[in-house]
Amino acid sequence: MVGRGGIAALRGQIAVVTGGGGGIGSAICRRLAAAGAQIVITYNNHAGKAQAVADTLAGAGHLVLRCPVDDAAAQKELARAVSETYGRLDILVNNAGISKAVAHEDLIALDDELIDRIFRVNFRGAFASLRALQPLLRAGEGGVVINISSIAGRTGVGSNVAYCASKAALDSMTRSLARALAPQIRVLSVSPGWVNGDYAQRMPRALIAEQEAKTPLGRIAEADDVAAAVYAAIAHLRFSTGDIIPVDGGRPLC
């Protein structure tokens, strides 16, 4: 579905990036647009941030739409808008996600409402996005879905127990749907460790320094490291599906 290498490898491709106004999402949008794709940025609460990202993207024909991933009506409207505007979809990046820091041993603070909200957005939202957009992904020559996961799904170490479990569920969904939707649609997970974004910048510097020291490559990821992996999975790993691609600097080795 994509060309071989080169800066314009995605020329003419249509990509939806959920939560595209955030740190990782905006880096993904920039990478894909620079490679020639037209980007549909979805957001929930921050229209200004999403539009600001769209305004900086290379190329033309980009679109910004409000679409909470846990809102079925909004998902249908997204599919309708993409169909009417572009007629098909080539790339879906399930980037939207939420979390909240809760100590793993604090079983009371991780209440049912927070657990349900995390799974509703991080797991069900990604599934619902693919469910709504699947017909458009099949409308062209085939599509690719990238789920933005986390090494928390593998290590069980993360902002809270439910977050870790939601990312493990996302990776399991990646494997299941890669099998179910092949060969027309490829499905992969990109799995970062710590990323130098809003969440990390709110943490004590000593904690981040500790994570850097425990990472073989000596730093935590930048948002563009994640975006580069997404681009590589789309444009270069064309015979890969169902795989979990780490972007963690080797952190689980320590």
Known active-site residue 163: yes
Does the bond joining 183 to the residue before it have cis omega, within 30 degrees of 0? yes
Across 133-252, the runs of DSSP E, i.e. the strands, are 143-148, 185-192, 244-247
Residue carrying the six token digits 């795989």: 243
Rounded Cα–Cα distance for residues 158 and 107 (Å):
15
Q: Give me the numbers of helices (H) and strands (E) for the chain, helices first please.
A: 10, 7
Tokens of 144: 């690719």
Q: Residue 132: CB partners within 8 Å, gap ≥ 6?
A: 75, 76, 78, 79
Choosing from 43, 86, 163, 231, the catalytic residue is 163
Catalytically active residues are: 163
